[in-house]
Amino acid sequence: MAADKPVENLWDEATCSICLDFFRDPVMVMGCGHNFRRAFITQCWEGAETDVTCPQCRQTFPQGTLGPNRQLASIVEIAKRLHVQKAKAAGGQRACGEHREALKLFCQDDEAPICMVCDRSRVH
């Protein structure tokens, strides 16, 4: 049940639906309310001359419909701190949620422990 794991639910909300990593510099598509990393959505919409499409819901909007999501940025920072605390409490030997490998490395960009498979992925 979702209420049984509030920390994991917070991590889900602080994670980009496209790259599945914590948001950095999150922005909201004003027309639909979906959130993305600014760098990702800017790259996604690069070269569009008129309307742009939300990568999540595929709705179309005029360009310039992005706004910073400062509240989400604050939530992401809290989620990152909880993530690090939980890893430390587990003795640093937690398993990666995606690959089920031991978290043996630390990503300085994301400030989070990662597994060897994550290290080799295009996200890292």
What domain range includes position 120? 93-124
Query: Is the domain of 54 the same as that of 100?
Result: no
pLDDT in tens, 62-83: 887 889 999 999 998 888 888 7
Per the DSSP assignment, residues forming a β-bridge with 35 are: 28
Query: Is the domain of 82 the same as that of 114?
Result: no
CATH number at residue 40: 3.30.40.10
Query: Is the domain of 111 the same as that of 53?
Result: no
Query: Is the domain of 72 the same as that of 19?
Result: yes
pLDDT at residue 73, rounded to an integer: 92
Give the pair of three-digit tokens for residue 90. Answer: 């587990």
pLDDT at residue 87, rounded to an integer: 63
pLDDT in tens, 13-66: 888 887 777 888 999 999 899 999 998 899 989 988 889 999 999 999 988 788
Return the residue matching tokens 């001359």: 49
- What is the domain count for the chain? 2
Q: Is residue 110 a contact partner of residue 21, using CB atoms and an 8 Å limit?
A: yes
DSSP E strands, 38-111: 51-53, 60-62, 66-68, 105-107
Cα–Cα dist 114/107, whole Å: 6
* Reported pTM: 0.62
Q: Is residue 115 a contact partner of residue 104, using CB atoms and an 8 Å limit?
A: yes
CA 25 to chain CA mean position, Å: 10
Q: Which residue has the higher pLDDT, 93 or 1?
A: 93
